[in-house]
Amino acid sequence: MSKTLLVYAENRDGKLRQVALETLGAAQQIAGAQDRIQVVVAGSDITSAVSELVPYGADVIYTIEHPELEHYNPEAYISVLKSVLQQAAPDLVLFGHTALGKDLAPLVAAHLAAGQISDITAIEVEEGNAVFTRPLYAGKAFEKRVFENGPAVITIRPNNVAAATAPEGSASPIEDIAYPSPSLRTIVKDVVQKTTGKIDLSEAKIVVSGGRGVKSVDGFKPLEELADLLGGAVGASRGACDAGYCDYSLQIGQTGKVVTPEIYIACGISGAIQHLAGMSQSRVIIAINKDPEAPIFKVADYGIVGDLFDVVPLLTAEFRKV
């Protein structure tokens, strides 16, 4: 029996997020030849996000554009999705495991009385059935889950699943859905962002992270320089945040952000278990620490024992030559 997969394509300020293409990539991985992939894009200025999605050959792209969708508001967004769900009647709804996805996916699951599997890092398809892998205990173990029956909702961790591919010459029809104009009890007037203009930490392919070893606000400067050169983002341990060297929005770990970049460069970070919870799934980990016994070296693929204020500028100088 053919299935319908509905992908929520997240956009921010009208720009399609990388995780949207990864979520669509997950749908492409799961879908069999007879299955339909549908995409939904909602927001206040979605023209460019929708155009970017057209070549990926979805069976339909549902679009809902309205000024009330400028900022994420669960009441408004669930009402929009209810309209789409009614039309699409999906068997599986896919979200990115982002702040928005973590909030909206359970609302959709509750509405559909569906099961949900969150924070998926890998998908295998065995005899036509998708098997989802997700980390447990802050990445110390993994479990594999399947859906038995009924509608289902999943969230995909950014930077883990391959982005969608656009089959040559394909296009996707667009279907506008009217904004249902719900009577909202709360309205988001404004969103004040602390990290405007920077690469989103949870989606960055390269993260250069600083710990208490950076010793001051200025100590982050060489890390910022390296991150800028590599097109990456700067992160931090809680030690660095608690010491006031950087903002808590940079914190990576159990009580901060979870990142899985291709390269994670830990500078002056000891490697406490709570920090590892947020970065140990990174593809390649490079640790710079002057203490050869620092626990971070146990998870590092490459370790440099040395003073970060010598090593980081050296790395920057070498990368500049490439």
Give the residues lining the site for ligand FAD (CB under 6 A).
211-213, 237-240, 251, 253-256, 268-270, 272, 274-275, 278, 288-291, 294, 307-309
Tokens 């947020």, located at residue: 278
Smaller CB separation from ligand FAD, 83 or 280? 280
Smaller CB separation from ligand FAD, 294 or 299? 294
Smaller CB separation from ligand FAD, 28 or 289? 289
CA distances from 181 to 2, 52, 66, 178 (A): 33, 27, 9, 9
Quote the least distance from Cβ 221 to ligand FAD, whole Å.
14
Residue type, 203: E
- DSSP one-letter code for 157: -
Helices 99-112 and 74-88 meet at what angle, rounded to 10? Answer: 50
The answer to whether 63 and 51 are in contact (CB under 8 A) is no
The answer to whether 228 and 219 are in contact (CB under 8 A) is no
Smaller CB separation from ligand FAD, 120 or 223? 223
The answer to whether 11 and 41 are in contact (CB under 8 A) is yes
Candidates 247, 248, 291, 256; CA nearest to 274 is 256
Candidates 285, 288, 289, 310; CA nearest to 299 is 285
- Determine the Cα–Cα distance for residues 19 and 156; give it in Å rounded to an integer: 8
The answer to whether 271 and 294 are in contact (CB under 8 A) is yes
Quote the least distance from Cβ 296 to ligand FAD, whole Å.
7
Smaller CB separation from ligand FAD, 261 or 268? 268
Smaller CB separation from ligand FAD, 249 or 254? 254
Count of CB atoms within 10 A of residue 199's CB? 17
Quote the least distance from Cβ 293 to ligand FAD, whole Å.
9
Quote the least distance from Cβ 268 to ligand FAD, whole Å.
4
Quote the least distance from Cβ 97 to ligand FAD, whole Å.
17
Smaller CB separation from ligand FAD, 134 or 238? 238
Quote the least distance from Cβ 209 to ligand FAD, whole Å.
9
The answer to whether 80 and 42 are in contact (CB under 8 A) is yes
Quote the least distance from Cβ 198 to ligand FAD, whole Å.
19
